[in-house]
Structure 1
Amino acid sequence: MKPNITPLVMPKWGLSMQEGTLSAWHVEEGQTIRPGQEIMDVETDKIANAVEAADGGLLRRRIGEVGQVYPVKALLGVLAPSEVSDADIDAYVAAFHVPAADEDEEDQGPAYRFADTQSGRLRYAERAGEGDPIVFIHGFGGDLNNWLFNLDAVGAGRPVFALDLPGHGGSTKTIPNPGLAALADAVEQFLEAMGLANVHLVGHSMGGAVACAVALRDQGLVKSLTLVSPAGFGSEINTSYIDGFVAAESRRDLKPVLKDLFADENLVSRQMVDDLLKFKRLDGVAEALRGLATAMYRDGRQVTLLVDELAALKIPILVIWGAKDAVIPVAQAQALQNARVEVLADAGHMAQMEAASRVNELIRSQTAR
């Protein structure tokens, strides 16, 4: 009989990740691990974060050494019941094969694809599965990689999509009439192009407002809303962040602005700054961002408030907010009376990255209906 052994491996966060540094263990050999528990910290050239256990069990062997760099899918630890012998574990470790990049394509995480819509060509990531789809929508200046800690963890066995809004990421950079309506149009067209219905929308910041707008337009299309620090819940917003992001043309200008996104400023890595500068220098990006900022955040305030309309929605709404949000005030989390609200103590505006474990748990609960 084959021994009941479960591997713990180096995760793959985003399609570009090839390796990571094991920077800390949070569990000891002989400890029983539960699914979703943070078991180690991994650092890449883009960001560091905790790794959640996909499976539960007894940690029999820690193989990965702190400070060492390992390729994606490398064996870092072994879970097995106490009745499995040390010899069986030794044999498993010796025989373990790290898949090459082109092996086991289904297990490589979401794949980048493109959809042609009336709003232009939209880049998206997709993870196949069964059940009602979950669709992730990023915020201002972001892209689908803002969800790199969430897609696989939330969508195990479920169809999951994350798209780049027009003006962002790998999507078209042209937005003829920049604003909330244009972005909602693009999401609706994407859902239609993909043949998606009964969707659970998950939106962050500006993407939260977009998700709300889509739900308000077609209440039969959207099954639930999960909103992470959403725009549209109050007039106040840190427009110095918006203006600074749009105007920044150098690392020196951009890095201080990005610190507003996180409770832990150390998460703003050099690679993050460089990647965003590269994006901002693409043709059409400056015009798109400036147009959206002018349309949605005029005179230091949010232009479009959605709370009154959302109060009439009959679908489940979950609002997640970082208590240390420096972009949109956490007080706005209480604006919608028909929403479940979760405030995360040690997170800022990017709670889906800083408190990924808890955010994933909340999204799984919200979309399990």
Structure 2
Amino acid sequence: MSDQIVPILMPKWGLSMKVGTLAAWHVEEGTEVNPGDEIMDVETDKIANVVEAADGGLLRRCVGQAGEVYPVQALLGVLAPAEVSDAEVDAYVAAFEMPEIEEDEEEVPSHLSVDLDIGRIRYMTREGEGTPVVFIHGFGGDSDNWMFNVDAIAADAPVYALDLPGHGGSVKTIDNPGLGTMVDAVVQLMDHLSIDKAHLVGHSMGGLVSGQTAIDHGIRVASLTLICSAGLGEEINADYIDGFVSAQSRKELKPKLKHLFADEGLVSRSMVDDLLKYKRLDGVQDFLEALNGNLFSDGKQAAAIAEGVAASGVPTTVIWGAEDAVIPQSHSGAVKGAKIEVISDAGHMAMMENAGRVNELIKDQL
């Protein structure tokens, strides 16, 4: 009956994750688990998050111990129906080959870079079949913002996630950066990759970029998934945007990042440190100040895409975190004819705080 035994494994979040800490179990042995149930908390050096069950079944063994560190794909638990004997479960656990720490040389390089007319653009990719999906991050973010989404969606389609100009590992020196700059980067990358048409998934400013791409290049866009998107209303939290741009220290930056999550505990030391390193790169400060001035000056959004997206006829899903403290959730209804989903217990980074539900909605849109 070993074919009825289903392992629960340490997840892999992002290309750089090698190990994770099993922080806590939410279920006990003997519990009937349903797909999507929250079963444990896992912490990495980047972020902590809840793990949802990929499969359903009776939890027969909690192999992993709370507080212990395990490599990616390590056996943490076992699901099996009651008719599978304890001896068979024990034999499965004993025979399971625990993985060693992954070596980079065995993986696809974490990121690729290409020199386009707009400058060097860095991106990550996952192979798959069908119409590609392009993930577009928000203001001050990068492709790693999609660490909980890329692999899940790659099961259904080829996936690409780029660093927009001025962000991540992409070009930092851009004269007067604005919305057009970002749209050009997306279209140029699609041209380079020979992507005629793609599903665009955009978060925050990335939603604005995705929507404007559909307006300007509708024939290139199969669908839109807009997550806590800019461009659907005028209001925006200037305390967050301006504070993020001006922050020069941990003390200044960390309180601003708390605006991003319903659970402020997700703002880790590593997250703050990584963003400070990014902000201290040559050209970044000038870029962010210019982009902020062009898109979000005086606490208001300069660009509006709701009518244009609706007129484009591109199938659109709008997803919002009910506790978004950066862009009001009331903007979610701005695109006429769009499917709307508001996710409780999630803030502006809804694709991180409730990745499971967001991934389901993206797949529905595909």
2:206 match: 207
SS at match of 2:115: strand
Deviation at 1:362, TM superposition (A): 1.3
- 2:311 aligns to what SS in structure 1? coil
Matches within 5 A, 1:18-97: 18-97=18-97
- The answer to whether structure 1 residue 217 and structure 2 residue 250 are counterparts is no
Q: Secondary structure at the match of 2:129?
A: coil
Contact (CA 8 Å) 1:109, 1:127: kept in 2 or not? Answer: no
Give RMSD over aligned pairs.
Answer: 2.0
Output aligned runs, 1:1-369, within 5 Å. 3-100=3-100, 101-102=102-103, 105=106, 111-367=110-366
- Say whether the 8 Å CA contact 1:12–1:109 is kept in structure 2: no
What displacement does 1:211 show? 0.5
TM-score (norm 2): 0.94
**Cα shift readout 1:209-237 (whole Å, capped 9, x = no counterpart):** 00011111221211110001111111111
Shift of 1:2: 5.9
Task: Give the Cα–Cα distance (whole angstroms) in 1 for the partners of residues 105 and 88 of structure 2.
Answer: 25
- Partner amino acid, structure 2, of 1:150: N
In 1: Cα distance, 2:300 partner to 2:333 partner: 18
Structure 1 residue 31: Cα displacement: 3.3
Distance 1:197 1:98, change over 3 A: farther
Matched letter for residue 352 of structure 1: M
Separation in 2, partners of 1:346, 1:4: 34
Deviations 1:20-57, CA, capped at 9 Å, x for gaps: 11122223333343333322110112211111223333
Gaps of 5+ in 1: none
Pairwise CA distance, 1:340: 1.1
SS state of the match for residue 216, structure 1? Answer: helix
Aligned residue for 1:311, secondary structure, equals helix
**Is the Cα contact below 8 Å between 1:229 and 1:328 reproduced in 2?**
yes
The Cα of 1:241 is off from its aligned counterpart by: 1.2
CA contact (8 A) 2:307 2:336 kept: no
Distance 1:198 1:264 in 2: 36
The verdict on how the C-alpha distance between 1:163 and 1:357 changes in structure 2, with shifts beyond 3 A counting, is same
Question: What amino acid sits opposite 1:41 in the alignment?
Answer: D
SS of the residue aligned with 1:312?
helix
Deviation at 1:110, TM superposition (A): 8.4
Q: Aligned partner of 1:79: which letter?
A: L
Give the % identical residues: 60
Aligned counterparts of 2:15 and 2:9: Cα–Cα separation in 1:
16
SS at match of 1:220: helix
Residues of 1 paired with 2:309 and 2:118: CA distance?
25
Contact 1:132-1:197 within 8 A present in 2 as well: no
What residue identity is the alignment partner of 1:40?
Answer: M
TM-score (normalizing by structure 1):
0.93
- Given that residues 37 and 53 in structure 1 are in contact (C-alpha distance below 8 angstroms), is that contact kept between their aligned partners in structure 2? yes
Q: Give the AA of the match of 2:20.
A: G
Deviating more after overlay: 199-208 vs 325-334: 325-334
Deviation at 1:266, TM superposition (A): 1.4
- Deviation string for 1:139-173 (max 9, x for gaps)? 00011111111112232242111111111111111
> Retained in 2: the 8 A contact 1:123–1:163?
yes
Give the match's secondary structure for 2:248.
coil
Contact (CA 8 Å) 2:146, 2:352: kept in 1 or not?
A: yes
1:5 CA displacement: 2.8
Structure 1 residues 188 and 103: alpha-carbon distance in aligned structure 2, compared to 1, 3 A threshold: closer
| Larger CA deviation: 184-193 vs 6-15 | 6-15
CA contact (8 A) 1:3 1:84 kept: no
**Alpha-carbon shift at residue 74 of structure 1 (Å):** 1.2
8 Å contact kept, 1:128–1:157: no
After the TM superposition, which of the residue ranges 299-308 and 154-163 deviates more from structure 2?
A: 154-163
CA deviation string 1:96-149 (max 9, x = no partner): 2233414995xx688322222212221111111111111111000011111111
Post-superposition Cα deviations, 1:54-110, rounded to whole Å, max 9, x if no partner, equal: 3333322210111212122211012234443333332222222233414995xx688
CA 1:194–1:55: 2 relative to 1, 3 Å: farther
d(CA) in 1 for partners of 2:326, 2:24: 30
In structure 1, distance between residues paired with 2:149 and 2:284: 26
Q: Relative to 1, partners in 2 of residues 1:61 and 1:191: Cα closer, same or farther, differing over 3 Å?
A: same
* SS of alignment partner, residue 290 of structure 2: helix
For the Cα contact (< 8 Å) 2:29–2:59, is it kept in 1? yes
Separation in 2, partners of 1:154, 1:35: 17
Q: Equivalents in 1 of 2:28, 2:154: separation in Å?
A: 28
Give the match's secondary structure for 1:78: strand
What displacement does 1:276 show?
0.5
Quick one: structure 1 residues 104 and 79, their matched pair in 2 at CA, closer, same or farther if it must change by over 3 Å?
farther
